[in-house]
């Protein structure tokens, strides 16, 4: 039976399972030195040292668990793991309203939101609570995406920021657990550096509304979102959420949205990837791809109704990897700590050209067994969540709704 004692608490370091150091002879470099030199992860200890608001779906170890798993597996080295900078106020204001940024800082400093902060900026309400690092933590995620974008402009290659992917954030309003919008800031940095074709692909279970809205009238950016139809943000009054009613183009040919049916399986995702995603990227011929790889589309996630294995998402990552000279991969949603940590560790393996073992070594297994999931949606973990990275494949029939959606997307 799995251990009941919570050793690896959300946001905090393990009390009896040591965080493994980054080994200098990591197998990433040994397996493919060229890939390792051009492929880096950007992270920070802030995700271990801070804690989201108590009871919040994000009050679980996600980014820290991904990084620690990669270290336990020998997949990170000083050359492939970079410390994240924190985005400055000026950098955040490239997209976000200065009054909004000031309000977030004020809420963190005073640990409360005023009536105006709640009504005007959606802070302290609607899943966007006040907590100890509510400015610094998302600013760090934005700093990593900005650093990644600038590195890609200068060097090309691949950057993975598992803390990124906060795709709901609006210019002057928190939304959907997202305080700031790091994908928008990263894309703006790429455009500011002179790139003229940036492709944004979002495979989170939720519609990437904040990113599409930011670039709705920007022909240099193509946005494509695959998400569960009828799920939040469906029901908001904003016009762009009409995307959830069908394939939707609000960018003069540079936006596609695929609202997929519940229980989407690996076979159906493969059809969408091969028939829609890859041809659309190839046609746009991007100079950079930004991939938001939320883990809430997985069958083990407690807050959505899609049924993908992590292998389906890894296939997306591997397929997109060579389609542009620059690739920025971001995290996103995901509310089961085991499925998120294992999925994103596998994302790193696919990016860095590392073989994923059938059975995890003891150090990695100990990390996973020490995870504590206190949320009301938490459940007793399956044994395979401790011993493997790869989920069992979830192949199945391809439904007519999915085929029709793919055909409509390619006609749009």
User: Alpha helix locations (H) across 156-244?
Assistant: 182-192, 209-214
168 noted as active-site residue: yes
Two tokens, residue 327: 């690739």
Cα distance between residue 112 and residue 127, in whole Å: 14
Give me the residue label for tokens 């946005």. Answer: 223
Q: Which residues contact 290 (CB under 8 A, 6 or more apart)?
A: 183, 186, 187, 190, 198, 199, 200, 201, 327, 328, 330
Helix axes of 362-369 and 337-352: crossing angle, nearest 10 degrees: 150
Cα distance between residue 206 and residue 151, in whole Å: 28
Helix axes of 63-72 and 337-352: crossing angle, nearest 10 degrees: 50
DSSP state of 69: H
Contact 272, 163 (CB under 8 A): no
Angle, CA 273 vertex, CA 57 and CA 407 arms, to 5°:
110
Partners of 228 in beta bridges: 260
Give me the residue label for tokens 């943000």. Answer: 233
Q: Which residue, 306, 329, 334, 309, is CA-closest to 318?
A: 329
Partners of 329 in beta bridges: 160, 291
Q: How far is CA 372 from the centre of its chain?
A: 21
Q: Which long-range contacts (CB under 8 A, 24 or more apart) does 30-36 make?
A: 31/352, 31/353, 31/354, 31/355, 32/352, 32/353, 32/354, 35/352, 35/353, 36/77, 36/79, 36/80, 36/352, 36/353
> Per the residue annotation, which of 52, 168, 227, 372 is the catalytic one?
168
Q: Which residue, 99, 101, 111, is CA-closest to 138?
A: 101
Cα distance between residue 145 and residue 347, in whole Å: 16
Give me the residue label for tokens 């995603």. Answer: 277
Cα distance between residue 123 and residue 322, in whole Å: 39
Residues annotated as catalytic (active site), given as ranges: 168
């Amino acid at each position: 039976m799995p251990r009941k004692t919570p050793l690896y608490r959300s946001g905090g370091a393990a009390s009896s399972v040591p965080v493994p150091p980054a080994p200098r002879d990591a197998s990433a470099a040994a397996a493919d030195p060229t890939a390792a030199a051009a492929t880096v992860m950007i992270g920070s200890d802030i995700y271990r040292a801070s804690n989201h608001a108590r009871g919040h779906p994000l009050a679980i170890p996600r980014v820290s668990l991904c990084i620690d798993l990669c270290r336990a597996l020998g997949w990170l080295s000083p050359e492939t793991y970079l410390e994240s900078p924190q985005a400055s106020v000026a950098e955040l204001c490239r997209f976000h309203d200065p009054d909004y940024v000031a309000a977030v800082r004020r809420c963190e400093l005073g640990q409360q939101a005023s009536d105006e902060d709640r009504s005007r900026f959606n802070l302290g309400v609607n899943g966007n609570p006040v907590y100890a690092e509510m400015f610094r933590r998302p600013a760090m995620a934005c700093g990593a995406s900005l650093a990644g974008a600038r590195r890609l402009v200068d060097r090309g290659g691949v950057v993975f920021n598992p803390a990124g992917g906060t795709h709901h954030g609006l210019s002057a309003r928190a939304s959907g657990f997202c305080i700031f919008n790091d994908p928008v800031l990263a894309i703006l940095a790429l455009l500011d550096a002179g790139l003229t074709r940036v492709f944004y692909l979002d495979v989170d279970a939720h519609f990437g509304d904040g990113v599409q809205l930011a670039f709705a009238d920007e022909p240099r950016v193509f946005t494509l979102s695959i998400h569960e139809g009828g799920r939040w943000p469906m029901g908001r009054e904003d016009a762009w959420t009409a995307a959830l009613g069908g394939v939707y183009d609000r960018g003069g040919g540079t936006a596609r949205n695929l609202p997929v049916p519940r229980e989407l399986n690996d076979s159906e995702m493969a059809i969408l990837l091969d028939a829609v995603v890859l041809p659309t990227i190839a046609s746009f011929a991007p100079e950079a791809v930004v991939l938001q790889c939320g883990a809430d589309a997985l069958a083990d996630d407690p807050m959505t109704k899609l049924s993908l294995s992590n292998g389906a998402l890894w296939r997306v990552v591997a397929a997109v990897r060579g389609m542009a000279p620059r690739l920025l991969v971001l995290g996103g949603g995901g509310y089961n700590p085991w499925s998120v940590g294992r999925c994103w560790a596998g994302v790193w393996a696919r990016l860095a050209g590392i073989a994923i073992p059938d059975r995890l070594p003891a150090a990695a297994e100990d990390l996973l067994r020490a995870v504590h999931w206190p949320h009301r949606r938490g459940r007793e973990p399956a044994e395979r969540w401790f011993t493997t990275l790869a989920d069992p494949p979830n192949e199945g029939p391809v439904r007519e709704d999915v085929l029709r959606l793919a055909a409509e997307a390619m006609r749009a």
